Structure 1
Amino acid sequence: MQTAQTSGTRATCGRGGPYVSISGIRVSVGVSIGIAVAPQDGGEEIMRRADLALYRTKGEGRNGYRFYEAEMDERIEARRALSTELRGALDRNEFLLYFQPIVTKEGRIRAFEALVRWNHPKRGFVSPADFIPLAEETGVIIPMGEWILQQACVIAAAWPSDISVAVNLSPIQFRHSDLVLLVNSALQESGLAASRLELEVTESVFLEATPAIKTALVKLRERGVRLSVDDFGTGYSSLSYLRRLAFDKIKIDQCFVRDLPHEQSGAAIVRAIIDLATSLKMTVIAEGVETEAQRRCLLSLGCHELQGYLFSRPVPAEEANVLASQQGLRRGKIQAA
């Protein structure tokens, strides 16, 4: 162990890694390093390339180091080009909505989750895993999110009155837009009943639960809109928010469903979530259901609603309209695009 001490601050490095003790408070220290070497990595470009290597180190989990590689420049350029094209995609009408059914224990469609897709004129369909993070970084998620909300409500208004629509919200929408005003506008213009709109909020919102965010959630709830905690159990769960904000639903992340029924620890976690939600009078939805064995296991654990490829892949609005008009959903019989 090595220790250095100055002005009442004690820095220590031991088996648990480096940390600093300030007034009795232990503060962990982490280091991420990006390395570029002269002359092979250039002279004028060496700092920029070291920064690219640092960016990669942080992206891979921090507390490590990476040497610059030419491929890093290629990835940054590709990302920059995609970001530029994303900014004008909404004006060029390149976004469209797909819908994935959420079904009851009996297999009846209870709701559809609205999922945005980007149909690039040259690239074709761009993966949401690629463009959603970019949209959040660049702020495009604000107008995109407003468009998704408006379109989802308009489309859902044509469905039978017992079928709802679920729309995902980004934490950025809470910070940089008047979400309550946008929701009220979308409901009024579409004629959709507030009780048929479900807003899915990720647990990361709890980290930034400012008074403004709390107020927005309360106003939405009072408006009659349903609130759902998305990907429950994978982020920063706060049970106090489930009690104080009275969410209507909890959505179990597919990582807990994937290995059912064989993974006992996964089954135990799912059972605990279902028991908790049931005691709070909340509905539990399991996503990522792909096999009949998973469906049976989830139902035996008390799950209320299901979503996944076993029932249907996400489908365009036209096909969702057809499914919505049917009385039930036959597993394995859906021809999804």
Structure 2
Amino acid sequence: MPLGRWVLRTACRQARAWQLTEPPHPLVVSVNVAVRQVWDSDLVADVGAILAETGLPPHLLQLELTESAVMGSTGRPLQALQQLSDMGVAIAIDDFGTGYSNLAYLSRLPVSTLKLDGSFVQGFRAEEHPNPADETIVEALVQLAHRLGLTVTAECVESAEQAERLRRIGCDTGQGWFYSRPVPPDRIQAMITCPAPG
């Protein structure tokens, strides 16, 4: 729990510093949240205190939770997610499609983004040997998400071909080494003024 709070505080502090440089587009920082943080800690109070301390506007923070953390959520965890959403913080389901995938919960949870697990994008790798089933599944999930008012991020995008095919079927954003390997904050500052490909 202390490590989770430290990660959240550090990410929010850095996001606020980037925001103060007046980038051309608002920068949303995504922070992974562990299952225990949702179930065992006062996540709402932690997030509220850290946002107040760092000065980061809530709408520039997105919390990423795995399906196992949110699917089937009732009682306190669901209340926490709803309070965070009411605060203006975005909630994303990470690695979507690898866990429970109980679609019934998507309409009940205060979720704004689905992050499709990279396993779906694997079949997009080779243009000469595409897996049509993967593309059909991703396209169906993108359409479903859009009809529910959700945005979709594809994980593990490693090539321009993958990015283009995902763009063609309507995927909103991508995440992966095609855009950038992990880099320190000062390198990201340069990328803000000179965006990566795609």
TM over 0.5: yes
Give yes or no for the alignment of 1:271 onto 2:139: yes
1:240 aligns with 2:111: no
Q: Which is strand-richer, 1 or 2?
A: 1
CA contact (8 A) 1:164 1:196 kept: yes
Residue 148 (str. 1) matches residue 7 (str. 2) = yes
1:155 to partner: Cα distance: 0.3
Q: What are the residue-to-residue correspondences of 1:66-145 with 2, within 5 Å? A: 142-145=1-4
Shift of 1:163: 0.6
Aligned to 1:188: 52
2-side partners of 1:207 and 1:230: how far apart? Answer: 11
- For 1:171, the aligned partner's letter is V
CA distance in 1, matches of 2:159, 2:7: 30
Matched position secondary structure for 1:315? coil
The residue aligned with 2:123 is: 259
Q: Are 1:318 and 2:182 matched, yes or no?
A: no
Partners of 2:113 and 2:100 in 1: how far apart?
Answer: 17
Whole-Å separation in 1 of the counterparts to 2:194 and 2:150: 25
Instruction: Give 2:158's aligned residue.
Output: 290
Please give the secondary structure, in 2, of the residue aligned with 1:201: strand
* 1:232 and 1:251 in contact (8 A); partners too: yes
Scaled by the length of structure 2, the TM-score of the pair is 0.91
Where 2:18 maps in the other structure, the secondary structure is coil
CA distance in 2, matches of 1:213, 1:200: 14
**Aligned equivalents of 2:96, 2:138: Cα separation in 1:** 10
**Corresponding residue number in structure 2 for 1:225:** 89
Q: 1:207 deviation in Å? A: 5.2
Distance (whole Å) between structure 2 residues aligned to residue 206 and residue 166 of structure 1: 16
Q: What per-residue deviation string (whole Å, max 9, x for no partner) do you get for residues 284-319 of structure 1?
A: 101100111111111111111111111101111221
Unaligned runs of 5+ in 1: 1-141, 332-337
Cα distance per residue 1:147-188 (max 9 Å; x no partner): 000000000001136011000011111122100000001100
Aligned 8 A contact 1:206 1:236 in 2 = no
C-alpha distance in 1, partners of 2:136/2:180? Answer: 27
Percent identical among aligned pairs is 39
More helix by percentage: 2
Q: Quick one: structure 1 residues 297 and 285, their matched pair in 2 at CA, closer, same or farther if it must change by over 3 Å?
A: same
* Aligned partners of 1:206 and 1:238 also within 8 Å: no
Which residue of 2 is the match for residue 88 of structure 1? none
The one-letter amino acid paired with 2:133 is S
**Greater relative CO (CA pairs within 8 A, separation 6+):** 2
Question: Corresponding residue for 2:149?
Answer: 281
Q: Any stretches of 5+ residues in structure 2 without a counterpart?
A: none
Does 2:192 correspond to 1:328? no
Alignment partners' CA distance in 1, 2:36 and 2:8 = 15
Q: State the TM-score, normalized to the length of structure 1.
A: 0.54
- Determine which of 208, 211, 224 is the counterpart of 2:75: 211
Whichever residue aligns with residue 322 of structure 1, its letter is A
After TM superposition, the runs of 4+ consecutive aligned structure 1 residues lying more than 4 A away are none
List per-residue Cα deviations over 1:198-234 (Å, max 9, x = no partner): 0001000135623000100000000000010100101
Which amino acid in structure 2 is aligned with residue 182 of structure 1?
A: D
For residue 234 of structure 1, what is the amino acid of its counterpart?
Answer: T
Q: Deviations over 1:260-286 (max 9, x none)?
A: 150111111101110111101111101
- What displacement does 1:320 show? 1.7
What is the deviation of 1:328?
A: 2.3
Q: Which amino acid aligns with 1:157?
A: R
What are the within-5 Å matches in structure 2 for residues 22-33 of structure 1? none
Residues 152, 171 of structure 2: 8 Å contact kept? yes
